[in-house]
Structure 1
Amino acid sequence: MGFQQGLSGLNAAAKNLDVIGNNVSNASTVGFKQSQAQFADVYANSLTGAGGSGIGIGVKVAQVAQQFTQGNITATNNPLDLAINGGGFFRMDNGGEIAYQRNGQFQLDKNGYIVNPTGAKLTGYTANAAGLLSTGAPAPLAIDTADLTPQATTEVNAVLNLDSTETALTAPFDMNDPATYHSATAVSVYDSLGNQHTLQTYYVKTGAGSWDVYAANDGVAIVGSGPNGQVTQLQFDSSGVLTAGGQFSVTAPVTTGASPITAAFDYTGTTQFGSAFSVNALNQDGYTSGRLAGFNIGADGTILGRYTNGQSAVLGQVVLANFANPNGLQQLGNNMWSETATSGTPLVGTPDSGGLGVLQSSAVEDSNVDLTAELVNMITAQRVYQANAQTIKSQDAVLQTLVNLR
């Protein structure tokens, strides 16, 4: 029994205690991955390399390996908090240097970028004004708070039922005289500046299965191409099915300085049955401008903005990165790692693809440290330290006996 074995055992046990202490101190650190001290025995080799049943000369710390197991997920009230359920790391732009982390506690900085508590920017695929993602190289993600550009109405879809029991009218149509039409509808439409207008349509039965359709915008009649100024004539067969006149266009002048509204109408599905007039569907594709009211992040990392005009738009998409050997990553502190030659190159992709995990918004991944297990490990490491100290004490007693020989 020599001093070397006991001393190496003391050093190994001390380092093991350091690892355990670091795990315990980070038990509440979001996204922290616990470490494990791994040991290897040490033997002295002869010059010829021949081995026998030689006695080892102690122990060494072979590696301090992090355990990249999944931590528990805890819900939060911050929509920018993100938890990765599965493999992968957030890809961060840390002042021009790319780093990686599992901690999903994010916030917006003064410029609208999504950043972590140290100011590193979350990266992903950015979106243009039309909501199309640029899926080339990831770039820092920012939330665009500009107003959503209005969209002029170009299509109106209507599904109606016109009452076949109505009596045909012969009096000239006058939108101010309800006696000259059977029924009417109104839909809000928008010009190129996002101003809202009311587009009205009037229905006049002129014969069996034949209905003239007239239109007006904001109470101003629109003169159609029909002989009496109608915009179209709907034709139905004896079964009440629409056979002609269901697709037409209307151009409505506006007085707001915007371009005239040109809308294509589609009455597909409209019927003429022996029941009261009804509007089963009436919608259009325009909208006014809107301010960003909020946003959420989907499981695939898509950032979807919600606007005050009821519309939504894609603002970007978070990407994740994974490595062939995560234990080869270099720890940088602040819950971040950097790639090394040992870790391999990062495999970047969208969440829930290529083995990457899914994202959960308004949630964070807790540390994967098991406090109960760490406290037991601490007791074991302490006993190992004491045992190695005892070997040194015993060796000292043996040496003292030798010194005292006469």
Structure 2
Amino acid sequence: SHVMTYYFMKDSTAASSNEWIGVTYVDDLPLEDGVGGTTNEVGVTSLGDGTAGSGVSAFKMVFSSGGDFTSMQDSNGDDLPLGDALSAELGAGILTNGSEPSQTVTTNFVLNSLTSVADEPTQYASAFEVTSLEQDGLAVGRLTGVDIDTDGLLRATYSNGTSEPIIRVALVRFANEQGLTQQSNTAWKESIASGEGLAGEATTGTFGDINSSALEQANVNLTTELIDLIIAQRNFQANSRALEINNQLNQTVLNIR
């Protein structure tokens, strides 16, 4: 995040006392004028003191004797048409983290349309005071968490209160899941027996939901498996008894004299 500050000073060369020179600072440094100079400095008292180079650093605010906003002028003294803005580069002195230094900041106090003056600045005959303050930007956000929705959308949340979608998890269905070829304990591969995979999104068509941070429990019928285990144990006991009886018969035959 960066802090931008506007400074306003009376124009010493103006015939009216209702004309102000404005300059812009970001992080306590003046904006550059687009050609490498820093003419947009606190202390200028007329547009002529801040018009070196491209002349886009300083600007003038003109008010009527009643305090109504009349116009905004560029550093050459030309009125700024509605919708236009002044641009100034941030420069390498402000963007010290490797960002592109030629990025610009636009300044435009002519916010009203042709039919509305609700957003115009005003000049009061009183001591300076802040009447309203609002922020339309966001501070730098750091990754705080990752969530996966039931439809497979992976969304990242950040410390500045924003969230952004990153990617969507795809699902694949096979005509014969039992025909997949096992590659490892958790990896399976398509085979001729399984058929070709049909890709799609969760919650659509025949695809189910995605449950994030959930551990799948056993997907077998415990009663059936328990009965099969008992039957297998009984069969093992029967086979063991048959082998025991056969051994006894052999011993009996060998002991006949």
TM-score, structure 1 normalization: 0.32
TM-score, structure 2 normalization: 0.47
Task: Looking at secondary structure, tell me which structure has more strand per residue.
Answer: 1
The structure with the largest alpha-carbon Rg is: 2
Higher RCO (Cα < 8 Å, 6 or more apart): 1
